[in-house]
Amino acid sequence: KQEVTQIPAALSVPEGENLVLNCSFTDSAIYNLQWFRQDPGKGLTSLLLIQSSQREQTSGRLNASLDKSSGRSTLYIAASQPGDSATYLCAVNYGGSQGNLIFGKGTKLSVKP
């Protein structure tokens, strides 16, 4: 069964810290992997998309890495800000260009001012 696991489930850090969110997946034959942000009661905001052939993607203070062989991805957030507080979801696509996403349960991040 293809599963996506995110650790930790919740994380609280002081403002300014660098932090890492972890995502692991059971089947390494992925098509791509996406990181999303979800604010309470809201939809999803796509942060980074990593294709299976890529090792990492960067956008501003965010960096996502992908290691297919070990079934892991990390989302690195530099110099965290209170506005980064949200739930971060990792999702894996196994089905190709028309494939659905399998989501982890998310990491709820709280950045304290």
Partner 1 sequence: GAVVSQHPSRVICKSGTSVKIECRSLDFQATTMFWYRQFPKQSLMLMATSNEGSKATYEQGVEKDKFLINHASLTLSTLTVTSAHPEDSSFYICSATNSVEQFFGPGTRLTVL
- The footprint of partner 1 (CB under 8 A) covers 34, 36, 41-44, 46, 49, 89, 91, 93, 97-98, 100-106
Closer residue to partner 1, CB minimum distance, 16 or 95: 95
Q: What is the DSSP letter of 16?
A: T
Cα–Cα distances in angstroms (integers) from residue 76 to residues 21, 24, 80, in the given order? 6, 15, 10
Least distance in Å: CB of 44 to partner 1?
4
Closer residue to partner 1, CB minimum distance, 32 or 80: 32
Cα 107 to Cα 89: distance, rounded to the nearest angstrom: 7
β-sheet with 19-25: strand ranges across: 4-7, 19-25, 72-77, 62-67, 56-59
Among all chains, which residue has been given the structure tokens 């079934």? 71
Least distance in Å: CB of 13 to partner 1?
21
Least distance in Å: CB of 7 to partner 1?
14
Least distance in Å: CB of 21 to partner 1?
14
Closer residue to partner 1, CB minimum distance, 43 or 113: 43
Q: What is the DSSP letter of 55?
A: S
Cα 52 to Cα 45: distance, rounded to the nearest angstrom: 21
Closer residue to partner 1, CB minimum distance, 8 or 16: 8
